[in-house]
Structure 1
Amino acid sequence: MPSDGQRHGSRWRRERIVRLASTTGLASVEELAAEFDVTASTIRRDLAQLTTEGRLARTYGGAIALDPHPESTLRQRIGDAFEQKQGIARWAAGQVRPGENVLLDAGSTVGALALELRTTFPLTVATTSMTVLQALADVDEIHVQCLGGTLRHVSQGFVGPLTEAALDRMTFDRAFLGADGVTADSGICEAELDQTRLKELMADRAEHVYVLAHAEKLGRRPFHAWARLPRGWTLVTDDGVDPAALAPFLAAGIRTVVTDADGTQV
């Protein structure tokens, strides 16, 4: 009888190898052979093929991911922690008052917030997000302003000097920011510096700043670009958060809001 690794085939196995190497940073031939119940020579052929494709770099006895923390696309992230993001979005929507000027960042949780805001009007929403534009495009009572610029396809958000120039002419009652990771000492972590510079500018233009981040993002440092946040910002996360992950934010005096799936603060 063929093993699971054999039954799934080489293409499936190679995709799994890339994912494992991206998670752990380093994958050995022996570990991968045991994981997929195939021979070491089979794994070596897989690694050779993935190296040729430019997806891994060979090391002595194994392989290392070219990027240990690849940035997920917006489409990939939408289904992650779905209920938690909905709860965060519902609480955030409850902070917005009719008549306000609101700034919405790119990201899946902020996209969920846009859907919750469809019944809050009159309202002015400025955004860098294609997802937000699509969510609010047919709501006549909401005035939508697109902060254009260069589209990052992976996040479906606009960045760059044109976006920054538009922001320089505007102020907002509230700004809601997304994050790939967030820490109490360094702020928001993102894949590229143009993202973090833009988030800093967005935070500077708003009276109230909220970072929407489900529990798994707290304390994470997946990349090397950071956005510093002004004093008085609010972290909004879900009730699955580990108290140890929340503790640095509380110790730093950062306002923290923990919500359940219904958007109720707990």
Structure 2
Amino acid sequence: MTRLPGADRRADIVRRAKTVGLGTVAELAAVYQVATSTIRRDLAELTRAGELARTYGGAIPILTSNEASMKQRLGEAFEAKRAIARRAAADIQPGETVLLDAGSTVSALAHELRTSEGVTVVTTSLDAMVILAEAPQVHVECLGGTLRHLSQGLVGPLTEIALERMTFDRVFLGGDGISAFDGICEADLRQTRIKEVMAAQSAKTYVLAHAAKLGHRPFHAWAPLPTGWTLITDTTATPESLAPFHNQGVDVQVAPALP
């Protein structure tokens, strides 16, 4: 990166914090080709201005809303989510038992499954339950637990206990951000714990994520993913954003755009 004037560098630090996340002071110094003392002064100034909150070794953005509601997410990247859902649905075979996470892209998959025959769907998602309530040929098992109002999903020990008494052919997970190295990023540790249990109980793990979520690190709670998991994303994903996933042995599938 070309060295930036101080004001431009600080603006770019804020942009970086809100998109890909910030590393350590030393990592930022390397990115911007300045001394670590310069980065510390930048972070201190941005903290005083109320644009960042300092953490050990770095900083995080101060956001007006840390987590989008389910209603807000349903309107984001709508066509990309539909394409991802259609590609995911194509892998599900009659007679299988599949597990659906909460989230807008996974809800789009529930919509695709309304016409399925001989499939059992188990879910923590209130939205998926409502969608599939109008599909009497789909057998639906609803997991109990504590409702997270923002995500419209069920979490907590009751959900975990129910999950640990079942196994699944496939699980379809969503996330606020997806890392090839760390797994799924979420706002709440209860969410990441549920996703980890879901993956552990499933023969095959899928993550459904449109391109803007790849490499995105908006929060500090993570769910690790099993070896050989599958990422389904959309055609706007760049080779650069997909390369870390390929390098980590992830099965990367790009859903064709809808006609």
One fold, TM greater than 0.5?
A: yes
For structure 1, list consecutive stretches of 5 or more residues without a partner in the other structure.
1-21, 27-57
For structure 2, list consecutive stretches of 5 or more residues without a partner in the other structure.
1-13, 19-45, 54-61
CA distance in 1, matches of 2:127, 2:52: 30
CA pair 129-24 structure 1, distance change in 2 beyond 3 A = same
Bigger shift: 66-75 or 103-112? 66-75
Structure-1 residue corresponding to 2:50 = 63
Instruction: In structure 1, give the amino acid aligned to 2:238.
Output: D
CA distance in 1, matches of 2:71, 2:52: 22
Structure-1 residue corresponding to 2:83 = 87
Show the 5 A alignment for 1:11-50.
none
Instruction: Tell me by how many angstroms 1:98 deviates.
Output: 1.3
What does the per-residue CA deviation read over 1:87-139, in whole Å, with 9 as the maximum and x for residues that have no partner? 00000011111111010000000000000001111211000000100100121
CA pair 83-231 structure 1, distance change in 2 beyond 3 A = same
Contact 1:188-1:196 within 8 A present in 2 as well: yes
Contact 2:144-2:159 within 8 A present in 1 as well: yes
Runs of 4+ more than 6 Å apart: 22-26
Instruction: In structure 2, give the amino acid aligned to 1:259.
Output: A
CA distance in 2, matches of 1:247, 1:201: 27
Structure-2 residue corresponding to 1:8 = none
Aligned length: 210
In the alignment, which of 136, 145, 151 is matched to residue 141 of structure 2? 145
**TM-score normalised per structure 1:** 0.75
In the alignment, which of 103, 109, 115 is matched to residue 107 of structure 1? 103
Instruction: In structure 1, give the amino acid aligned to 2:227.
Output: R
Contact 1:187-1:228 within 8 A present in 2 as well: yes
Aligned pair 1:124/2:134, yes or no?
no
| CA-atom RMSD in angstroms | 1.9
Larger Rg: 1
Instruction: In structure 2, give the amino acid aligned to 1:234.
Output: T
Percent identity among equivalent residues?
Answer: 56
What does the per-residue CA deviation read over 1:198-255, in whole Å, with 9 as the maximum and x for residues that have no partner? 1010001111110000000000111000000111110000010011110000011111
Aligned pair 1:160/2:188, yes or no?
no
Instruction: In structure 2, give the amino acid aligned to 1:112.
Output: A
Contact 1:25-1:64 within 8 A present in 2 as well: no
Aligned pair 1:251/2:240, yes or no?
no
Instruction: Tell me by how many angstroms 1:259 deviates.
Output: 1.1
CA distance in 2, matches of 1:215, 1:59: 30
In the alignment, which of 188, 191, 204 is matched to residue 192 of structure 1? 188
Structure-2 residue corresponding to 1:201 = 197
